[in-house]
Structure 1
Amino acid sequence: MKKEFGVMVPLSISRLILLSTTVLSIAGAMPAARAATAAAPVASQPDASHGKGTAKAVAKPASKSAPASSAGDDSTIDGSGSAEDVAVTGLTHRSAGGGLLAISNSVKSSVASTRAYIQTQPATTNPQRLIAMQPGAVVASQDPYGVQPGGITVRGLNNNEIIWLFEDSPITNDGTFYPNEAVDALNLEEVRLSPGSTNFDVPGSNGAAGTIRMALHDPSHKMGGMVNVTYGSYDTRQVFGRFETGDIGHTGLRAFVSYSNFLGNDWRGPGNTWRQHVDSKIIKDWHNGSQTALSVEWTDLNFQLERPPTMAAWNTYGKNYNYTSTFTPGDTNYYKLHQNVYEGMFATLNNKIILRHNLMLNVAPYIYYARAAAPGAVNLSPTSAYTGTQKIQGLQLETQNGPTANSATLYSGSPALFLRSGINASLAWDIDRHNRFIFGDWYAFTEQSSFGQFNYLDASGSPLSLWGARSSAVYLPNGKIYSFADVLNRVQTDQIFLGDRMNYLDHRLSLEFGFKYLFYRAQNFNRIPGVTYNTNNNQTAPMPSLGARYDFNSHHEVFLDAGVNSRVPDPSQIADSVSATTGKITGRASRDQKIENSIIEELGYRYNDNYLTAQATLFNYNFTNRQVSTVVNQNNTLVTQYVNAGGQTSRGADVSVGSRPFHHFSLFLSGEYLHATIDNNVPRQGTYLPTAGKTATGSPTWTGNVSLSYDDSKFFGNIQMHYVSGQYATFMNDEKLPGYKTVDMSLGYRFPNVGPVKAPKLQLNLVNLTNNHYLAGIYSTQFNAKTTRAVNGTMVSGSAPLYIVGSGFAAMFSVSAAL
């Protein structure tokens, strides 16, 4: 029997932390801590996560004796803080930039879209679209509702290089993540983008582009709830409801649970999208300020894939380049053969345990479980069918008319199971009034299995099972299921970290020094014939960081930071792939795929007064082993692969400016200049392409956003404009996605309370107001689109990149009220 499991040799010190923190959290450390710290003093800032208070962007401490901050938050250990900073939040009629400029007093660049802005957006939107107005964030939306997956880049770096945090736990630390699967926007308090070097105590192993944190709504202390009903273009409809328990007796418990159900037709072709989702959060407040919070999300999703065009197809067909609406035998582009299904759950248990007035323990175990199936279709002949590299003899295929010796159109789905679990544990110790020392460990385990198989169709051309049911599968002559892929991936990451956060000069000067060390182990088991059975990848990555912030006065502040970020290889990239119709290996496992490293420096300035808030940042990135994602066709299924693009240098500037309300109007401006270049020639087909000095793919030189908001507490609305300049889709810069502009608008009215019905509201959202037809992003990057002469003189044939078609115009009308 072959061994398919390996265990990372544990670090004794990190295991001690994990063991001790787990025991403390399970065995009742909180009640003990309550008695030990009954008299602990508390001096806290307003809680930014609730949208309450009027904290300034350049926040000042509550007292001179307050100890050093956690992640820049000028407060003592009180259990109520988070890993983020004091931010400008509130309702749109009193928020800077209409809720789009919640900057922080961190030593690093950090901006956020708050609930004030989120409440004005479509109820169906996703976290990715909620930060589309922030500098450096370029969001490519495939649908106007925000339910289908799209694309995002931050400073030219894609979604797979961003640590997405759900309540401070990494909802992904390797592989692919789509924010539309994670949370209902109506339950979000804030979406925060921190694009520079990641904080040393943030868990995650793919943070080359920084972090995005999704902060859930905290349960109310009063029983109640809310309902939102949305209807719009393309027969879109969503129902959302949330129930708040309020404080449950004197237990210190409070909770909320919400449910939403979405259904809408595809906006540019046949098919529809269906989604149901649950969010829940339970908080236990302990008497000494300690807190336990359990947050859970669950999603069930079925959506129609959009057909990505080449530039030639886009120029010919425009948005009408779609999957076909009627089935004919042999047509692998029939829309029902390209439906994506997903079901997943993520849960995190965040414990903030105050052991003493100057000592706090943070323990956050989490788990993610999901199943999905990537769709595809193929015309398979019994005489040219392979499992792995072995040709199948005596394969018999079925049709509606019985067995056939000819080719048959089959559904080539790839059902997959995902399991990610981990724990992040740390101790924060206020050594004195100036220094907070933090020490901890993050450990994560990922297991992913994928089984590619063929399933039969019914008479109408629909797959008999999108999930790959055994009852409709194609079987080999030996009675086993015919599989064209059978892969098991296991990944272990262990990251030990420590650092010191310091405050001096009455908290006007903040310093931060940190270090984390990542241990990475990936194992791949490929169980089809003729391929590399087992591939392992073991690597380490040291990541130092430092930062400083200085307040000249209550209006002016400068900050700087430098650090190293890393992005581990995707586990799916260390497996061979094989064509089921030719038996040829189409992709080789990479045993020595390297961790991507980026050295990041930022220098920034913040300004704040009663009229204006602003932040400007200069940044510089130097990459090694830059991983660029592309999409390839394997057995007529589009799958993600990565290219090692070597070195890259990215430099530029971000700016955000927001006004506080003046006669109920607020203005927000943001923009970025980016100069990103490839540092070396890229390998291709046994030679090298002359790419050194070319512009990096997916890196627009200019991006800009403008938003004008109005809110007099009754009438409200905003109009927002986006601009993205052109960006190259190939390493050779021989094909370019054109620049584009879009305009969105929202209008609404808040009614007075009617009996038990509170805050009734009508709202209209208009997406892509001018109905601009445009390409929004790059679906698959290629080496070269045209035949190119390599550095050794040989000619290298080109491949056409694929693109994301931007969503068209849509109007969505919603009615909501609280109880």
Structure 2
Amino acid sequence: MRISFRQLSLSCVALTGLVAASAHAQTKKTATGHDRKATASAPAAQNRSSGGDDLSSSVLGQFNRSSEEVSVTSHAVAATGITNRTPGGGLMPPQSAPRSQSGVTRDFIAKQSPSSNITSLIANLPGVTVTSQDPFGTTGDHLQVRGLNETQFGYLFEGAPLADPINYAPYTGTLVDTENLGSVTVSQGAPDLNAPFYNAVGGQITATAINPSHHMGGFADLAGGSYSFNKEFLRFDTGDIGNSGVRGFLSFSHTAYDNGARGPGGFLRYHLDTKFVKEWGDGNDVAAIFSYNRQESTSWRAPTMAQWKQYGVGFSYDQNFYPGNANYYKLNSQNLNQQLIVLPMNFTLTDRLKLHVTPYYVHQFGPSLGGENIPAVGGYYGTQQYGQLSGGTVVNGSILTLGVDPWDQKTGGLNMSADWRITNSNTFSFGWWYAYTTHQELSDFQPVYADGSGWSGTPISVNGHILSGYDLNFMQQVNTLFIADTQRLLNDRLTISAGFRVAMVSRQGTNLIPGADPYKMQGNYFEPLPQFSASYKITPHDQIFINGTTAFRAPESVEAYSQIFDPNSSHATMQPQSLKPEYSISEEIGYRHQGGFYNFSMSLFNINMTNHQVTSTGYIPGTNQMVASPINIGGQTSRGIQGEFGLGRWHHFSPYLSGQFLHSTFDNNFNTGTGVLPTAGKIAVAAPKFTGAIGINYDDGRFFGNFDLRYVDSQYTTFMNDEKMPSYITSNLTLGYRMKAIGPMKHPQIQLNLTNLGDNHYLSGSSYSANAKAHVTSTGQIAAGSPPVYYVGGVFAAMVSLSTGF
């Protein structure tokens, strides 16, 4: 790994500056002492939903209330919801689940860039590698954990699975504004038994929104920075509404920036969040969460390794237009729109019986846009050749068009479970999850005006039909059932849990393009999934645990079921892939210490997978449209060790360390279709051997700051290990000052966020291919190289934000 002197020196200066600031700040003690606690109400309480800071020691991983999570209002030191109670500066909340589990709380979240999304916030946790493309953390949900990526993780938000149910993309930036995010928990290797997933072979990521305040008020945040970045956020809390027991909040935000060093274009987002809560009796509560997101962004252009070496971060779509230029930036963009409703409900039916019900609805839609030149004469609609096209400007026999993919997807679901405490030491749980999804996708081509000022808005037709590369209709139904039993022995020091889940997924898709073969494809999956765990409390602060988990993932993306055509080709440019489900068996043994002066955890893990599907994201040949396609690589084995360490506050400092060693290999040779490549024993893609993070947090109630440094080892991007992505290191810095109340403004503060100190230019992720260079297969044929494309990491950026409660 190469670390520039500039990068190393800047990181050291930043750390020294943070220490110096703290020394200066300690000379200005407040009237109430070093650890002054604000008495004003904070609008952020940790959420009580599944996946919070404290999880039960059962195989379910269900949330148990604790005093800190129910309300932290009296402990808040800032209007942002910071309490300074979580070790490691908010990076090591207490855990008790019998599995590897890490998280972040408001103590960390509130000090990051207000543009961050859920995925970018967990980059410091052990084994988590996040692919960042912009410097603000708004876009990009790609991550890797233990050799698996985000499509192999289940994402829960307020108890509902809100990732794309077909291609499993999480789109976390559309779910919630950072100012409304309460906590994020990462379970590496093992999902909850009762979690509504059919893809979580790698574990799960759980996010919760803050709870509304009991007092009327609100929060405002204004931010500006590099590349014309600006964000405006406003939240209003109703407080307790009369004697109804209902309280809620409503927030709105606008975010925009230019791509700057990454080329022309930019990003625009409008977002709305609401949450209302009613609580009564002993353990009864109902919440209503609604979110709306409208988002437009210029597509990031992904280079090959050769293009990266030639152009660096400047590899982008073109600033200027000329006739026939399909790479003009205004023709290449992504629109991501989402509406969601979640209604989590918890009821205490009797002293021994509790019921949990979560209905939800999510609507996601595009379009995605990409420029493409198509033949003016003699092109193809599916496998049928067409004659002369009408409309558009012909340049060198082609018409420049805007390829439009107006995908539209709706999902409704209901997740129910019950806990029956049979005796004081034995709890039996059972539940059912049902979900129904529809997906429509009819691509079209719209002629671009000769001067590049726009496009017609009218799709090109052939014989009365819209010219298209795919006309997809997809439907999916999911049913899962589970039972589990948890036994507590030896005065609750030993907890043994066993459970069984069965998942049933039914899919069917049609492609109405002429010549599509097959016209209709179906997939039906029935998977039994047992789990087992045991934990033992050596002392009230020390715990050991073991677990064995099985999980499966139904094939990813509609492209796994349907052909993709293009007017430039007489046959399908992408063929359906293997429809076999991915299956994993994982084991862990671990130890954690919590309480006292420090928190520490470590675990050893082993994951065996069959029909492992590596997600290859690439361009449809000859176009600027990127699609995700699963590649069945066969078996994969991953083994390693991970750990993290965090201190409580010491002289206002809270340090944090995390790291992972991973050895992941392919178990089988890869069949290219024309021959076999010797990939057995090769290092798996997306599996860096070493990853680590160092963080330090400072907060004395007035001055505060946060510094973190992350290292990611090199990683192979081809199955033949003939190309790899270099290792890289990045660091970020936060500095801020929190003021006393000024009139109606509660704890106004100014915060500076610096990302990628040293402006390190690096590749942060990639697509994958069998081989980048030509190789001889088992049949003696030459397997031509297919270089993968890469995601470019975000460059240096600075942001200043002003915020206050009221």
Q: Which of residues 467, 470, 477 in structure 2 aligns to 1:485? A: 470
Paired position in structure 2 for 1:269: 263
Distance in 2 of aligned mates of 1:192 and 1:695: 29
Distance in 1 of aligned mates of 2:149 and 2:64: 33
Instruction: Report whether the alignment pairs 1:615 with 2:601.
Output: yes
Instruction: Report whether the alignment pairs 1:71 with 2:61.
Output: yes
Aligned amino acid, residue 633 of structure 1: Y
Paired position in structure 2 for 1:27: none
Instruction: Report whether the alignment pairs 1:540 with 2:522.
Output: no
Q: Which of residues 355, 375, 378 in structure 1 aligns to 2:372? A: 378
Instruction: Report whether the alignment pairs 1:227 with 2:220.
Output: yes
**Alignment CA distance shift 1:462-1:565 (3 Å):** farther
Aligned amino acid, residue 800 of structure 1: P
The gaps in structure 1 that reach 5 residues or longer are 1-48, 62-66, 82-88, 466-470
Aligned amino acid, residue 326 of structure 1: N
Alpha-carbon distance, 1:384 to partner: 2.5
Distance in 2 of aligned mates of 1:75 and 1:379: 58
Aligned amino acid, residue 257 of structure 2: G
Distance in 1 of aligned mates of 2:45 and 2:474: 40
Paired position in structure 2 for 1:800: 787
Is residue 174–residue 206 contact of structure 1 (8 Å, CA) maintained in 2? no
Alpha-carbon distance, 1:405 to partner: 9.4
Alpha-carbon distance, 1:131 to partner: 0.4
Aligned amino acid, residue 481 of structure 2: I
Task: Write the deviation string for residues 67-99 of structure 1: whole angstroms up to 9, x where unpaired.
Answer: 98973666799x979xxxxxxx98464321000
Task: Write the deviation string for residues 390-437 of structure 1: whole angstroms up to 9, x where unpaired.
Answer: 0113422323xxx88932111112110011111101111111101111
Paired position in structure 2 for 1:177: 170
Question: What SS does the corresponding residue of 2:198 show, helix, strand or coil?
Answer: coil
Question: What SS does the corresponding residue of 2:658 show, helix, strand or coil?
Answer: strand
Aligned amino acid, residue 328 of structure 1: Y
Alpha-carbon distance, 1:571 to partner: 4.3
Q: Which of residues 141, 144, 153 in structure 1 aligns to 2:144? A: 153
Paired position in structure 2 for 1:45: none
Paired position in structure 2 for 1:280: 274
Distance in 2 of aligned mates of 1:542 and 1:158: 23
Q: Once structures 1 and 2 are overlaid, which stretch shifts more, 337-346 or 68-77?
A: 68-77
Instruction: Report whether the alignment pairs 1:359 with 2:353.
Output: yes
**Alignment CA distance shift 1:90-1:104 (3 Å):** farther
Alpha-carbon distance, 1:374 to partner: 2.1
**Alignment CA distance shift 1:404-1:475 (3 Å):** farther
Alignment of 1:770-789 (within 5 A): 770-778=758-766, 780-789=767-776
Paired position in structure 2 for 1:247: 240
Paired position in structure 1 for 2:619: 633
Paired position in structure 2 for 1:387: 381
Question: What SS does the corresponding residue of 2:475 show, helix, strand or coil?
Answer: strand
Question: What SS does the corresponding residue of 2:306 show, helix, strand or coil?
Answer: helix
Instruction: Report whether the alignment pairs 1:449 with 2:440.
Output: yes
Q: Which of residues 289, 300, 303 in structure 1 aligns to 2:297? A: 303
Alpha-carbon distance, 1:181 to partner: 2.0
Alignment of 1:9-408 (within 5 A): 50-51=45-46, 71=61, 91=82, 93-172=84-163, 173-175=165-167, 176-267=169-260, 268-399=262-393, 406-408=397-399
**Alignment CA distance shift 1:404-1:557 (3 Å):** closer
Task: Write the deviation string for residues 446-470 of structure 1: whole angstroms up to 9, x where unpaired.
Answer: 11111111012234425437xxxxx
Q: Once structures 1 and 2 are overlaid, which stretch shifts more, 638-647 or 625-634?
A: 625-634
Is residue 82–residue 110 contact of structure 2 (8 Å, CA) maintained in 1? no
Q: Once structures 1 and 2 are overlaid, which stretch shifts more, 279-288 or 237-246?
A: 279-288
RMSD: 2.3
Distance in 1 of aligned mates of 2:65 and 2:732: 39
Aligned amino acid, residue 763 of structure 1: Q
Instruction: Report whether the alignment pairs 1:521 with 2:506.
Output: yes
Is residue 93–residue 712 contact of structure 1 (8 Å, CA) maintained in 2? no
Paired position in structure 2 for 1:698: 686
Aligned amino acid, residue 773 of structure 2: K
Question: What SS does the corresponding residue of 1:50 show, helix, strand or coil?
Answer: coil
Task: Write the deviation string for residues 256-307 of structure 1: whole angstroms up to 9, x where unpaired.
Answer: 1111100100131000110011111111223343111111111100001111
Alignment of 1:451-600 (within 5 A): 451-464=442-455, 471-476=457-462, 478-531=463-516, 532-572=518-558, 573-590=560-577, 593-600=579-586
Is residue 58–residue 97 contact of structure 2 (8 Å, CA) maintained in 1? no
| TM-score, normalising length: structure 2 | 0.89
Instruction: Report whether the alignment pairs 1:768 with 2:759.
Output: no
Is residue 578–residue 585 contact of structure 1 (8 Å, CA) maintained in 2? yes
Alpha-carbon distance, 1:765 to partner: 0.1
Paired position in structure 2 for 1:34: none
Distance in 2 of aligned mates of 1:361 and 1:796: 56
Distance in 2 of aligned mates of 1:500 and 1:667: 38
**Alignment CA distance shift 1:262-1:535 (3 Å):** same
Paired position in structure 2 for 1:44: none
**Alignment CA distance shift 1:60-1:407 (3 Å):** closer
Question: What SS does the corresponding residue of 1:578 show, helix, strand or coil?
Answer: coil
**Alignment CA distance shift 1:718-1:431 (3 Å):** same
Task: Write the deviation string for residues 332-361 of structure 1: whole angstroms up to 9, x where unpaired.
Answer: 111111111121112111111111111111
Identity %: 36
| TM-score, normalising length: structure 1 | 0.88
Distance in 1 of aligned mates of 2:247 and 2:107: 23
Question: What SS does the corresponding residue of 2:499 show, helix, strand or coil?
Answer: strand
Is residue 361–residue 428 contact of structure 1 (8 Å, CA) maintained in 2? yes
Aligned amino acid, residue 151 of structure 1: H
Alpha-carbon distance, 1:582 to partner: 1.9
Is residue 610–residue 635 contact of structure 2 (8 Å, CA) maintained in 1? yes
Distance in 1 of aligned mates of 2:371 and 2:84: 52
Task: Write the deviation string for residues 116-171 of structure 1: whole angstroms up to 9, x where unpaired.
Answer: 00010010110001100000110011001122224211112111111110101100
Aligned amino acid, residue 174 of structure 1: I
Distance in 1 of aligned mates of 2:796 and 2:55: 45
Is residue 46–residue 211 contact of structure 2 (8 Å, CA) maintained in 1? no
**Alignment CA distance shift 1:199-1:150 (3 Å):** closer
Alpha-carbon distance, 1:631 to partner: 2.1
**Alignment CA distance shift 1:493-1:669 (3 Å):** same
Question: What SS does the corresponding residue of 1:315 show, helix, strand or coil?
Answer: helix
Instruction: Report whether the alignment pairs 1:710 with 2:698.
Output: yes
